[in-house]
Structure 1
Amino acid sequence: MELKEKQDQWLDEQLAEDSKCKHMVIFQHTPWFLKSPEEKHLKNLNMENDLRLRMLEKFQDAGVRAIFCGHYHRNGGGFYGNMEEVITCAMGYTKAQSGLRVVRVYENTIKHDFYGMDDIPETLCLSEAST
């Protein structure tokens, strides 16, 4: 079995386990799209259109709620149906403001906030009632 087939099989097995988790979230390096699932393929920045749409549909059908990515060196993302893709800029080498993203997972929702380097709070309240 080739490596791609092994990876596809592993991914399908992971996606099939959705009944065991409250939220299904994917973390990956390269984003599927930068702003819109329908955008054109941009060499080395987003995924090729046919693969992108096929995988986004697979993820949505499996109940994935969010996809968190990097690679772009800027903040970006958008929605495919009710599934959100979030791109967070790099720390350091970037044309955008450097910073970090805090992701909070609650019983019924997932929330995230980006903080620029000058705006990172000293403390964070993680309770859902405070958001």
Structure 2
Amino acid sequence: MPTDSVTKFPAELDPTLPTLPKGLFDALGVQAAMSALGASSAQESPRILLDVPDIYDRTAAIPVRIKAALPSVEAVVLLHERESKPVLAGFAMRPVQDAEFFFAISAKKTGVVKALVKSEGKWFFAQKTLRLATESWR
């Protein structure tokens, strides 16, 4: 017989786990997402590596690597400036030093992606342009 704990998210089981703001993935526009995070004044940081392909195929999963050489990394969020719902991925965790993340996303448009990293209560970012491959065979 299943228990209630099977159907609950980890944060519901342990309220001390860090979470991202409710509704973040439904935010309309980059400014709304950054405002919901409290990241409107995020600063660019050379200590964040955002590794994505220069060119991608719309039908393929896009590999993403984010490496943050920062103390006490508490959250990571990936935004795409040209998507109506720009939050492509987001993670909240207990603070760790020098965090590294690997995951895959999909995107429909060429545009700038921004990796936001929260460390010691402040938001930092790195960004890169994703370009949709030209379909020259058509």
Which has a greater percent of strand?
2
- TM-score if structure 1 supplies the norm length? 0.23
Which has a greater percent of helix?
1
Q: Which has the higher contact order (CA 8 A, sep 6+)?
A: 2
- TM-score if structure 2 supplies the norm length? 0.22
